[in-house]
């Protein structure tokens, strides 16, 4: 199947690309490289450097590729940035999504899979674990933009007669993430590998649902042929506190350090865990990577990356 992945040079997107390739599909990557990197894209995969907000260029690329399926992962993902600049957040996450959806429809795509955020579209959970039927009640502009994107995908694809599936991620972690994402595990590792004290916001007892990026990528492959017209939580179904993550990261890194403490992050929720039984039932997807195993793989990746950078620095000198 000919597929196209927006944001395919980024953290999650590049893993989706790898999973699609492993399943035997053709892949084209569209990415503006604002946070993604060409190094994340395998040799032989076409990388088109273009912004999803560039309507003419996106339309032309989709018309040329004529993808059978489109995976839309390109987004502005920082909650804090969405609050400081909600207009820019909406331009990327709402207008950009509209542009991608219309381009996919015009190019004759048969399926569009949209990356949403379970951690933000539900707002403060009224029940735990949170099912897909929970009211969408975001408490940040980022969450609002993702809810809007979901509705536009559903309505536009429905009117055009093409299939769509929405995947609502838990807190995704794993290799290829970058410190700018402000994801807690990546932030902890970046600090420790650079001899700094990691920062814990709030009291660290906030607990979330963390899911390994390889498992998230597998859900996208499942969504190619299942889940039409539906939204699915894609997470671990378990919660773990920030303090416990910090303890496990330090143990894996074999270090002892006291974290710095900061105030609560704006729009952070106290706890959430997602109900993923619908994905199991309708997509045939369930996470297979336990947190300890996923963390081990993640630490190994960042340690190797840090060692390579040290070697490169020594070579340059």
What distance in Å separates the CA atoms of residue 18 and residue 83, rounded to the nearest whole number? 33
Q: For the purposes of burial, counting CB atoms within 10 Å of the CB of 232, is it exposed (0-12), middle (13-18) or buried (19 or more)?
A: buried
User: Which listed residue (142, 152, 169, 302) is catalytic?
Assistant: 142
Answer whether 5's CB lies under 8 Å from 27's CB: yes
Helical packing angle, 184-193 and 291-316, nearest 10°: 40
Closest of 177, 226, 187 to residue 14, by C-alpha: 177
Structure tokens at 218: 């597998």
Q: For the purposes of burial, counting CB atoms within 10 Å of the CB of 314, is it exposed (0-12), middle (13-18) or buried (19 or more)?
A: exposed
> Is-catalytic flag, 169?
no
Which residues are the active-site residues? 142
């Amino acid at each position: 199947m000919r597929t196209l992945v927006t944001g395919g040079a980024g953290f999650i997107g590049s893993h989706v690309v790898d999973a699609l390739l492993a399943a035997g599909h053709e892949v084209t990557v569209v990415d503006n490289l604002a946070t993604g990197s060409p190094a994340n894209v395998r040799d032989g995969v076409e990388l088109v450097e273009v912004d999803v907000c560039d309507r003419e260029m996106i339309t032309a690329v989709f018309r040329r590729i004529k993808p059978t399926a489109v995976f839309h992962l390109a987004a502005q993902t920082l909650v804090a940035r969405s609050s400081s600049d909600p207009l820019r957040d909406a331009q990327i996450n709402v207008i950009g999504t509209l542009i991608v959806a219309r381009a996919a429809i015009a190019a004759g795509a048969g399926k569009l899979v949209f990356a949403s955020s379970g951690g933000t579209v539900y707002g403060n959970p009224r029940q735990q674990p949170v099912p897909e039927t929970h009211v969408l009640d975001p408490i940040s502009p980022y969450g609002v933009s993702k809810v809007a994107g979901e509705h536009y995908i559903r309505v536009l694809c429905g009117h055009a007669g093409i299939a769509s599936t929405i995947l609502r991620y838990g807190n995704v972690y794993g290799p290829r993430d970058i410190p700018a994402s402000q994801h807690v595990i990546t932030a902890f590792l970046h600090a420790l590998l650079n001899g700094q004290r990691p920062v814990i916001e709030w009291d660290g007892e906030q607990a979330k649902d963390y899911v390994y990026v390889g498992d998230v990528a597998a859900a996208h492959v499942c969504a190619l042929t299942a889940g039409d017209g539906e939204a699915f939580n894609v997470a671990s179904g378990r919660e773990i506190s920030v303090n416990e993550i910090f303890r496990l990261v330090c143990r894996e890194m074999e270090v002892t350090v006291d974290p710095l403490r900061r105030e609560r992050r704006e729009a952070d929720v106290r706890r959430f865990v997602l109900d993923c039984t619908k994905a199991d039932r309708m997509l045939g997807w369930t996470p297979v990577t336990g947190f300890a195993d996923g963390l081990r793989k993640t630490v190994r990746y960042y340690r190797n990356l840090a060692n390579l950078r040290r070697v490169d620095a020594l070579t340059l000198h």
